[in-house]
Amino acid sequence: MKKNNFNKKITFVANYFWTSIKEGSKSNSYFNYDNYLKKYPDVKESGMNPFKHYLLHGIDEERSTNFDENINSYSLVENSDLFDYEYYCEKNNLKFDSYSKALMHYLEKGYKKGYNPSIKFNAEEYYEVRPDVKRADVNPLVHYLKYGKIEVTSMTENLNLKEYQLVKNSNLFDYNYYMEKNHLDLRNETEAIYHYLEIGYKKGYNPSNKFNGEIYFKKNPDIEESGWNPLVHYLKYGQKEERTDKCDKNLKEYSLVKESGLFDYQFYKDKYDLDLNSYKRGLIHYLEFGYKRGYKPSRNFDGEEYLKRYPEVKKAGFNPLVHYLKYGVNEERIGLRRISFKNFNKNYDVEAILENIDNDVTILLNVEDSNNLKECIENIKSTTKDYKIILIHENLDDEDLEYIKSNNDIELLRRSPHESFINALNNILDNAKNDIIFLKNNIRTFEKWIFKLTVAAYSDDRIGFVSPISNYSTVSLINIEEDEKSSEFISNISKRDYEESPLPNDSCVFIKKDVFKELKFDESSNEENWFATFIDRGLEKGWKSILDDSTYVYYQFNEVEPQQADEYDYSTPYVLENRPSVKFINSDAFNNSFQNIHEYADDNLEENIQEKTRKNILFAMHYGGGVEFTVKDIVNAIKNDYECYVLRAFKNKMKLYKVFNDYFISIKEFNIKYPWTPKMIHSDEYKQIYFYILINYNIDILEIDHLLLHTFDLQELAKKLDIPIILTLHDFYYICPSYFLLDENNKYCGGYCGDQPRNCSTRVTWIDLPANIVEWKNQWQEYMKELFGMCDYILTATDFTKDMFLEHYDSLKSDDITIIEHGRDLIRYDNNYTVPNIYQPIKILIPGVIGPHKGLDFIKELKGFDDDNRLEYHFIGQVDDELKSMGIYHGPYEREDFAKWVFKIKPSFIGIFSVCAETYSHTLTESICSGVPVLASNLGALKTRIESQGGGWLVNIDDAEETYEQILDISSKKEEYKFVTENLKDIRISSSEEMGSKYKEIYDKLTKKEDK
């Protein structure tokens, strides 16, 4: 230790203790602990006592004990991005083990030696501009950050002066917010604004809570790429261009509306004559300005009509579509324009399509280059079911000829001499009864390509020619990858408007067989344009040529990519001679057909392809009931892997929902002209609706969760369209249309009617069953056998339900029905019950919709034996007035609140007194998890579950007096009661994830994901 340092330490210790005694504090005016730690953050980080550190190290390292100006300067420089720790050490040959030590060295000593803090700031240049700063021995960087930006002599003042005024006068900069939010120490608003203009925006700092720069960049990526300060750009240009400055709320609303599918960019842009160049700009315009002007986001949603219907929404200032999606959907408000039977299916002649989708096609395979001939033919084989190939060629080598001879479904036809070729081709087509596809051998096709082209061709009887989308052809497209996902992507984003196109795809075109009844190939045509001439003549005869924007084929280039003569946007014609290409490419029809694809391509194509190639599942059911909850649980488990749609049937309408997050968002509503009846097995009206949904939403799996209020056209269409079918058994509707298997006396019959006529409709009048149920049931079961035969999987939740169906249908085998238990994510409770005793009434909680099938009469009869008022009923759900008078009615409840009501009431038992057999019973599961034992009917799944697992006691639902005595007996046996109650926690309940994973395994098999 140096001598003078030793003397310093002795003096320091003496002065420190003298001041401590005088002021009565260890941390005092001579040596302040807090100030030392603030000045030297490395000491604070080390955890060492500041007095000890200064004595042992600080004096030797020439650290200061004074809380000087450098503490404030430290924060200022640290937040400026103008001190570079590594640069400072390396440039000046210094070694510090922390950023804070290096910065303090610069503030105390480095600047005096002329050291620069970083490559971004040159002290010598600043001193040249401000020699007074140098004369005063002021740190140049600190002066620049405090004063240099404000004064005209600042190195950057001239650049920012106008921007400073712009921001200052905007009311979008909040000095206090900027300081507190970003932990800055700037003396006044002027310094703060300049800090934001120079440094803050680059760090992502926001000028106030009224403007979010990060989200402004997200919504306007072109601005970020150009290096603009987001607020300056907004103030200079964004307001005029109607770019958004409201961020957090609108970003969520943007995602909500985009996912709902209820914003139609092309419709919005055209209807209101707006100059918007992307979907993103269009939707933002609607969220910011359009809804205030009464603009409709699409044909399917009328905001003004919604606000008229619900004036409280208008009064609150809500965007009507956002309100509908956030709240209206769950509240069952009317939001969507009703789509009538006549106008939703305008593009489909369903019967004609169904008659032709399974027919063979004849493929005219035009071989221009035989290099990839084998690959082409193998591709056709793998993507096409029923076909015949006529291979048109000039010269093939021996190897190709040998390969072709090994394929019985290929016929050779030489291209020359031309006249003979045309005659031979016409002779072949004279005898052909198939539709024709003209295909070049460098085209790669994908799954369902012919199916989709056939649907388009037969959507109108005057369509003669159908062209798919391609990456290169007479009408070319952006270069999407050559894989199955690209095909699925195109199909999933397709609008299927089938716009007329006078310019067919010359590499692949579907020609309806009826065209050849009127036309033949012209033998006098030029060898180069014989096919184009044929199409021209077809158009002259009145046949339509359309673009099918749901079908994608890939043009495989040879070594040299062909040159294209003209370019327009993303699409380019390369045949211009006497063809209406330029006119067509500038037409609305062309723009409408390709707008969707261009939009998705502009907006992160790779991400969109990933998102839009998820498989689509349609869940079909009736409105209401427990089925809906099960479907929601399944959907929640698979929503990240599959796109889910729900079709709810009502008596006089159907509604299609898309599942978004945890909500069913209504996207289509179909009015039914002829309301459903139980004997309505088939209906053209229903068929049109089902076909529209299955095709337009590219349904990959149909899951029928209930057929009530549906016709059998649904599964028959799905089978015809090769869509896998899953049938779930939630009740006994498929055994007997009486639904609950209750006879005319409301007694459980098990589905066995005998031979005598019976009228079982008295308790289910809303279904309006025929008077003689026996005759109709026998016919009904024949339809059910057909349904079971169409299904790929039949699923149910319990062994009891499976056994019931096997008993009633000899055609079903045990392996035909798979059991997947319903999963629930419920918290397990205990001590939610009241142990029954002789001093208090026995509390029985009876939940649910208590109708005849749920034991309404039995519950009344049971109370009739309670002369001593030992039983105290508690009801939650829906009950009639007579029941309310027999106990305590707590009102309706939500499914997720079941345990809360149990905790509040603390019953001794939960009563499940169904007089029909349950197939599972969610109420039993909820009771077990709430920690309260049940009194349950000795029927169905209630019986089998309690017998196998426990959870309560079974009662004779046919004898109320016996049940009453049983309840009193159980209540007197405390040990038995406690044993059953304790056992509840050991009963295993499947989780939603477990159930979802089993369903997902089946979905994956049906969509062949396992193979992929």
Contact predicate 131/125, CB 8 Å: no
Instruction: List pLDDT tens digits, range 105-117.
Output: 898 889 989 999 9
| pLDDT for position 315 | 85
| pLDDT for position 335 | 67
Contact predicate 365/391, CB 8 Å: yes
Instruction: List pLDDT tens digits, range 67-89.
Output: 455 566 887 888 787 888 888 99
Domain end marker among 566, 595, 624: 595
Among 69, 18, 13, residue whose Cα is nearest residue 39: 69
In this predicted structure, the answer to whether residue 196 has a pLDDT above a threshold of 90 is no
Q: Are residues 163 and 138 in the same domain?
A: no
Distances in Å between the alpha carbon of 917 and those of 735, 812, 875, 945, 947? Answer: 13, 21, 21, 12, 15
Give the HSE-up count for residue 525: Cα atoms under 13 Å, Cβ half-sphere.
18
pLDDT grade for 56, boundaries at 50, 70 and 90: confident
In this predicted structure, the answer to whether residue 585 has a pLDDT above a threshold of 70 is no
| pLDDT for position 529 | 76
Contact predicate 248/255, CB 8 Å: no
Q: What is the mean pLDDT of residues 184-206?
A: 81
Domain count, the chain: 6
Contact predicate 787/805, CB 8 Å: no
**What's 625's domain CATH number?**
3.40.50
Q: Are residues 630 and 731 in the same domain?
A: yes
3-class DSSP state of 790? helix
pLDDT grade for 958, boundaries at 50, 70 and 90: very high
Q: Are residues 136 and 194 in the same domain?
A: no
Instruction: List pLDDT tens digits, range 703-760.
Output: 999 999 999 999 999 999 999 999 999 999 999 888 788 887 888 888 888 776 666 6
| pLDDT for position 363 | 92
Lowest mean per-residue pLDDT among 47-56, 402-411, 562-571, 763-772: 562-571
Q: Is the residue at 339 inside a domain?
A: no
pLDDT, greater one: 997 or 119: 997
Q: How far apart are CA 469 and CA 490, in angstroms?
A: 8
Contact predicate 27/35, CB 8 Å: no
Q: Are residues 356 and 320 in the same domain?
A: no
Q: Are residues 750 and 636 in the same domain?
A: yes
Instruction: List pLDDT tens digits, range 299-340.
Output: 778 888 889 888 888 888 889 998 888 888 766 676 654 433
Residues 6+ apart with CB under 8 A from 638: 617, 644, 996, 999, 1000, 1003
* Beta-sheet strand order (sheet of 642-649): 663-671, 653-660, 642-649, 615-622, 699-704, 725-729, 793-796, 817-819
Q: How far apart are CA 591 and CA 129, in angstroms?
A: 59
pLDDT, greater one: 675 or 792: 792
The H helix count followed by the E strand count for the chain is 47, 22
| pLDDT for position 160 | 52
Domain end marker among 147, 173, 207: 147
Domain end marker among 764, 786, 819: 819
Residues 6+ apart with CB under 8 A from 420: none
Handedness of CA 566, 570, 574, 580 (dihedral sign): negative
Q: Are residues 447 and 582 in the same domain?
A: yes
pLDDT, greater one: 791 or 523: 791
Q: How far apart are CA 644 and CA 634, in angstroms?
A: 10
| pLDDT for position 945 | 96
Lowest mean per-residue pLDDT among 5-14, 708-717, 791-800, 996-1005: 5-14
CB atoms within 10 A of CB 469: 28
In this predicted structure, the answer to whether residue 689 has a pLDDT above a threshold of 70 is yes
The percent of residues above 90 in pLDDT, for the chain, comes to: 32
Q: What is the mean pLDDT of residues 11-31?
A: 62
Q: Is the residue at 376 inside a domain?
A: yes
pLDDT grade for 591, boundaries at 50, 70 and 90: low
Q: Are residues 360 and 318 in the same domain?
A: no
Q: Are residues 178 and 221 in the same domain?
A: yes
The percent of residues above 70 in pLDDT, for the chain, comes to: 81
pLDDT grade for 561, boundaries at 50, 70 and 90: very low
In this predicted structure, the answer to whether residue 159 has a pLDDT above a threshold of 60 is no
pLDDT grade for 32, boundaries at 50, 70 and 90: confident
Q: Are residues 414 and 445 in the same domain?
A: yes
Structure tokens given for 788: 């079971």
Q: Are residues 313 and 171 in the same domain?
A: no
State the pairing for strand pair 387-393/361-366: parallel
| pLDDT for position 574 | 32
Q: Is the residue at 662 inside a domain?
A: yes
Q: What is the mean pLDDT of residues 164-188?
A: 83
In this predicted structure, the answer to whether residue 66 has a pLDDT above a threshold of 60 is no
Q: Are residues 856 and 788 in the same domain?
A: no
In this predicted structure, the answer to whether residue 902 has a pLDDT above a threshold of 50 is yes
Q: Is the residue at 863 inside a domain?
A: yes
Contact predicate 795/634, CB 8 Å: no
pLDDT grade for 575, boundaries at 50, 70 and 90: very low
| pLDDT for position 597 | 66
The overall average pLDDT reported for the chain is 82
Q: Residue 629's domain spans which residues?
A: 614-819
Q: What is the mean pLDDT of residues 973-993?
A: 93
Instruction: List pLDDT tens digits, range 906-950.
Output: 999 999 999 999 999 999 999 999 999 999 999 999 999 999 999
Q: Are residues 642 and 719 in the same domain?
A: yes
Q: How far apart are CA 714 and CA 705, in angstroms?
A: 12
| pLDDT for position 951 | 95
Q: How far apart are CA 919 and CA 923, in angstroms?
A: 12
| pLDDT for position 560 | 41
Distances in Å between the alpha carbon of 17 and those of 26, 30, 878, 953? Answer: 8, 9, 81, 81
Lowest mean per-residue pLDDT among 137-141, 261-265, 481-485, 882-886: 481-485
Among 644, 620, 617, 463, residue whose Cα is nearest residue 542: 463
In this predicted structure, the answer to whether residue 573 has a pLDDT above a threshold of 50 is no
Q: Is the residue at 22 inside a domain?
A: no
Among 415, 434, 571, 600, residue whose Cα is nearest residue 503: 571
Q: Is the residue at 41 inside a domain?
A: no
Q: Is the residue at 763 inside a domain?
A: yes
In this predicted structure, the answer to whether residue 477 has a pLDDT above a threshold of 70 is no
- Helices (H), ranges, 173-310: 175-182, 189-198, 213-219, 221-225, 230-233, 248-260, 265-271, 279-288, 303-309
Q: Is the residue at 568 inside a domain?
A: no
Lowest mean per-residue pLDDT among 572-586, 641-655, 776-790, 962-976: 572-586
Buried b (16+ CB within 10 A) or exposed e, 510-547: bbbbebbeebbbeeebeeebbbbebbbbbbeeebbbbb
